[in-house]
């Protein structure tokens, strides 16, 4: 059991779910410390049966801390994570800052748990859109080796934080009143609209969000030969990222074989019956930890291709749940036999 753990970013949308998951999953710790910027210092946060006061995020805050889970902007993580490591803590970080650092393992526990053993103090959790896709791709890759992926994402406004959902609500209300709400979080009004840009231009017309999916997929799956062509779209949904995925494998897979692989994969739930209109939808996946897969079919344009639809709660498996699962994995691989979860 950990003596003391800390959560950085407890008052944000993801941080709140991390706290919920720590309690729900009975994570083994004796004391929990909540850290944040000056703006949130002094706020009281209910965690299970106790109330904890938020303290200032500063270099001295990590003394005697064993484990840190963090959900912060990149620039905040870049500054504080070295403080925590220097003080002797291990950091599970959800920001994008450390993900592609060669010295930092990028972990999805269902996919590459062994990589956690190579950490030097910091462990990164992937981008939300990458996480659900790779959880679904992993069983296909193990069985038939993934060569190429074409993915179109339909990403919820909560992917941009609390401000994203607030802007969606304001934009919808304005649109219904025949007005246009001026956007501040997104590039254009999001109410009753789709925006085919998430992030800034990064490489050859692809955005930063799209290139995250390219680079992170290769790192997590340990295969630099996997080709990924993503298009990321913001949609007027509050929670739940959806993805249309076409995967080409080296070895052919039948639809039944692919479905069986999905059924047997940890963290994947199959909802797939077109005749009865059963398939994953964001409203049904909200508040759930699994990755949901449906619309499984052969790719008509490629002999070794499988197409499917994938939905997951971006605040849970895409962020908070994966971070807590990494912390659980870290504990299991370092604990004595009597302590293991």
Residue 336 confidence (pLDDT):
53
The pLDDT value recorded for residue 298 is 98
Domains of the chain, earliest start first: 2-126+319-334 (3.40.50.720), 129-314 (3.30.360.10)
Q: Is the confidence at residue 232, as pLDDT, over 70? A: yes
What pLDDT was estimated at residue 337?
Answer: 52
pLDDT band at residue 111 under the 50/70/90 scheme: very high
What confidence tens digit (pLDDT) does each residue in 314-336 have? 999 999 999 999 999 999 988 65
Rounded to the nearest integer, the mean pLDDT of the chain is: 96
- The whole-number pLDDT of residue 341 equals 63
Share of the chain above pLDDT 90, in %: 95
**Mean pLDDT to the nearest integer, 297-309:** 96
Distance CA 157, CA 166 (A): 9
pLDDT computed for residue 334 by the predictor: 82
Smallest CA-to-CA distance from 320 within 4, 24, 37, 32 is with: 24
Q: Which residues are catalytic?
A: 128, 241
Q: How confident is the model at residue 201 (pLDDT cuts 50, 70, 90)?
A: very high
The four Cα atoms 65, 66, 72, 74 give a dihedral, to 10 degrees, of 110
What is the spatial distance between Cα 288 and Cα 183, in angstroms, rounded to a whole number?
30
Mean pLDDT of 47-72: 96
Mean pLDDT value across residues 40-52 = 95
The rounded distance, in Å, linking the Cα atoms of 172 and 180 is: 9
Length of the chain: 341
Question: Dihedral of the CA atoms 7, 12, 13, 15 (nearest 10)?
Answer: 0
State how beta strands 29-36 and 55-56 pair.
parallel
Which single residue is written with the structure tokens 């085919």? Answer: 196
Q: Decide if 236 contacts 172 (C-beta within 8 A).
A: yes
pLDDT in tens, 84-96: 999 999 999 999 9
What is the structure's pLDDT at 339?
61
Query: pLDDT (tens digit, 9 = 90+) per residue, 144-196?
Result: 999 999 999 999 999 999 999 999 999 999 999 999 999 999 999 999 999 99
């Amino acid at each position: 059991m950990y003596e003391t753990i800390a959560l950085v970013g407890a008052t944000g949308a993801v941080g709140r779910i991390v706290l919920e998951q720590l309690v729900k999953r009975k994570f083994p710790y004796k004391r929990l410390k909540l850290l944040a910027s000056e703006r949130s210092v002094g706020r009281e946060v209910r965690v299970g049966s106790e109330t904890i006061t938020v303290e200032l995020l500063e270099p001295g805050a990590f003394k005697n801390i064993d484990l840190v889970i963090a959900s912060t902007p990149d620039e905040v993580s870049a500054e504080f994570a070295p403080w925590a490591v220097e003080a002797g803590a291990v950091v599970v970080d959800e920001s994008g800052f450390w993900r592609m650092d060669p010295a930092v393992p990028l972990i999805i526990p269902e996919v590459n748990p062994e990589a956690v053993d190579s950490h030097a103090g910091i462990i990164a959790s992937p981008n939300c859109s990458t996480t659900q896709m790779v959880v679904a791709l992993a069983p296909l890759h193990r069985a038939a080796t993934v060569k190429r992926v074409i993915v179109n994402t339909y990403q919820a406004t909560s992917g941009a934080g609390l401000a994203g959902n607030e802007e969606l609500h304001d934009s919808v209300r304005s649109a219904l009143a025949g007005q246009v709400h001026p956007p501040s979080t997104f590039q254009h009004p999001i109410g009753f609209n789709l925006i085919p840009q998430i992030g800034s231009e990064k490489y050859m017309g692809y955005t930063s969000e799209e290139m995250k999916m390219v680079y992170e997929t290769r790192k997590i799956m340990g295969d630099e030969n996997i080709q990924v062509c993503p298009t990321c779209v913001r949609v007027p949904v509050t929670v739940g990222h959806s993805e249309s995925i076409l995967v080409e494998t080296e070895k052919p897979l039948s639809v039944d074989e692919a479905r069986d692989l999905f059924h047997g994969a940890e963290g994947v739930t199959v909802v797939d019956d077109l005749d009865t209109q059963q398939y994953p939808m964001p409203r049904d996946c909200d508040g759930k930890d699994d990755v949901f897969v449906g619309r499984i079919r052969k790719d008509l344009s490629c002999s070794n291709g499988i197409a499917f639809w994938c939905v997951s709660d971006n605040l849970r498996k895409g962020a908070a749940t994966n971070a807590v699962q990494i912390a659980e994995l870290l504990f299991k691989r370092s604990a004595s036999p009597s302590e293991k979860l």
